[in-house]
Amino acid sequence: MIIPSLLILKSLEGDDKDICSFFNPEMFNKDTSQGQQLVSLRRNYEQGRIKMGSSFDYYNLIEKCLLEVGLSEKQTK
């Protein structure tokens, strides 16, 4: 499940080379439940980026969480 999660993360950044839309076009259809989940995920992701203040640091934090890499004490706050 890690690779699909990383691809969705890359898609949120607009950097998945359209792999997600090729293999799962339904997730980009806002009329489907998958499409609604993506809209919600994108909204939450953008809010997190704004709150953290650094797109790069936020992306890396989410990536580490997806890969189940241990976080430093600073990163958990």
Digit-coded pLDDT (tens) for 60-71: 999 999 998 887
Interatomic CA distance for residues 37 and 1, integer angstroms: 17
- Is residue 75 predicted with pLDDT exceeding 70? no
Residue that has been written with the tokens 């969705």 in this structure: 8
Domain residue limits at 26: 2-76
The tally of domains found in the chain comes to: 1
Helix (H) or strand (E) holding 65: helix 55-66
The pTM assigned to this predicted structure is: 0.83
